[in-house]
């Protein structure tokens, strides 16, 4: 990460963007509560003909980088942002495929954490906590299935 490099997107903690690029693409989409808004913006900026560049010499200090303490809630926000991004920029079947992959991954994690939380392991308590989070996020998918993640 020590060299200037063209990238698809950069983290949203600090961004420097040309005024003309903002005029062409608009600002960050306020429909993203948190997570993926910078991915969406960089995607739109690149589609407008601009480059996104990682510049490692620029330094920003991000104090108290705790966006969400609750692991399940944080994962729900991350997924909501990803789903919104896909809904805005890709065919609906790809968004559905993404959700199926995520749900499959959650099922695998739930099975693993359930098994690990039953074994006499040192980190059993941590596995139980993760199990609870993964089950919560899995159930959230059922509650959020009618949610509109963004129009094209």
pLDDT of the residue at 115: 94
pLDDT of the residue at 129: 93
Q: What is the helix (H) or strand (E) element at residue 6, kind and residue range? A: strand 5-6
pLDDT of the residue at 69: 64
Q: Exposure of 60 by Cβ count < 10 A (0-12 exposed, 13-18 middle, 19+ buried)?
A: exposed
Q: What is the dihedral of CA 51, 55, 60, 61, to 10 degrees?
A: 120
Q: Nearest-5° angle of CA 127, CA 130, CA 136?
A: 140
The tokens for 71 are 């692991």
Q: How far apart are the first and last CA of the chain?
A: 33
53 SS3 class: strand
pLDDT of the residue at 48: 96
Q: Tens-digit pLDDT profile for the chain (152 aa)?
A: 688 999 999 887 788 899 999 999 999 998 887 889 999 999 999 999 999 999 888 888 877 655 556 889 989 999 999 999 999 999 999 999 999 999 999 999 999 999 999 988 788 899 999 999 999 999 999 876 556 555 55
pTM given for the model: 0.81
Backbone phi and psi for residue 25, each to the nearest 5 degrees, phi listed first: -110, -15
């Amino acid at each position: 990460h020590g060299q200037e490099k063209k990238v698809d997107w950069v983290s949203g903690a600090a961004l420097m963007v040309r005024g003309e690029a903002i005029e062409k693409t608009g600002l960050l989409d306020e429909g993203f509560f948190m997570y993926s808004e910078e991915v969406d913006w960089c995607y739109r900026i690149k589609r407008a003909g601009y480059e996104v560049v990682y510049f490692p010499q620029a330094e920003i200090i991000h104090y108290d980088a705790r966006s969400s303490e609750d692991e399940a809630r944080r994962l729900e926000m991350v997924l909501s942002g990803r789903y919104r991004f896909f809904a805005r920029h890709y065919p609906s079947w790809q968004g559905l495929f993404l959700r199926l992959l995520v749900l499959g991954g959650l099922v695998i994690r739930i099975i693993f954490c359930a098994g690990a939380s039953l074994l006499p392991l040192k980190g059993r308590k941590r596995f139980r906590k993760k199990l609870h989070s993964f089950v919560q996020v899995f159930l959230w998918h059922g509650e959020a299935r009618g949610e509109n993640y963004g129009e094209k």
